[in-house]
Amino acid sequence: MAFSIALAGKGGTGKTTLAGLLIKYLQEKGKAPILAVDADSNANLNEVLGMEVSETLGNAREEMKRGQVPGGMTKDVFMDMKLQQAVAEADGYDLIVMGQPEGEGCYCAANSLLCGFLEKLTDNYPYIVTDNEAGMEHISRLTTKDVDVLLIVADTSRRAIQAALRINKLTKDLNVGVKKSYLVINQAKNGGAVPEVALKMIQEEGLELIGTVPEDERVYEYDLNGKPTIEIPRDNQAVKAAFEIFDKIVQ
């Protein structure tokens, strides 16, 4: 049974960067093969990982919806073929990008097939890392469900922390099968310190703060210059702080 870790949070908090560092951590710990799932409609986990992606599951869903399944091929076989084509392989992990629908109308049938094939695919991996889209919609649509650990990422701004607390509450209200939720404060200023007002907000809601990752110029430079952030040296303060957090959650 795969151990599933999903990341969620407000946009701009560095959620995708942390997802990439988590994949790097699992690689170094010998937890391969890992399945990385980019479930963000604004997909960019591949950039963090330094990978090229030519096919997405969203494309397959569009083709099926438009009736572009080749003659003599069932929808099931077509989606299975497209799923295999959408898996980008790297050293120790595979990446699959969900993508987004381009047109209007109902995607229920395609989504149903997609979910079934993804469930089969995940059986091949001991660890799954899912980078969700920013905000809360993936929770209400039940895209995030049945995960072992949900890492909710925020920075020290009030809006980011409020968003994190709302995400945590929604997962509980909808009972989507999240076994454990943790808050990660990313891009923390002053060496990783969390303001007292922020700590009070977190404590009042009962969400466990598992750790903080300090703001770091190297992370910003890599992102600005389009360099894969998983290539940041292991002795970087932000990377070390992230790895310490991952030590607490990975079995």
Domains: count for the chain: 1
Q: Note the pLDDT tens digit of each residue in 107-144.
A: 455 556 556 767 777 888 999 999 987 755 555 444 55
Exposed/middle/buried for residue 184 (C-beta within 10 Å: 0-12, 13-18, 19+): buried
For residue 26, what are its two tokens?
A: 């699992």
pLDDT(205) > 60 = yes
- pLDDT, residue 84, reads 85
Domain that holds residue 85: 3-249
pLDDT surpasses 60 at 218? yes
Other beta carbons within 10 Å of 63: 16
Q: What is the pLDDT of residues 150-202, one digit of tens each?
A: 999 999 999 999 999 999 998 888 887 889 999 999 999 887 788 899 899 99
Which amino acid makes up residue 228? Answer: P
Alpha helices in the chain (DSSP H): 15-28, 45-49, 57-65, 75-86, 108-122, 137-140, 158-174, 196-205, 217-224, 237-249
pTM score: 0.89
More confident residue, 2 or 99: 2
In CATH, what number is assigned to the domain containing residue 138? 3.40.50.300
Question: What percent of the chain shows pLDDT beyond 90?
Answer: 52
How much is the pLDDT for 138?
54
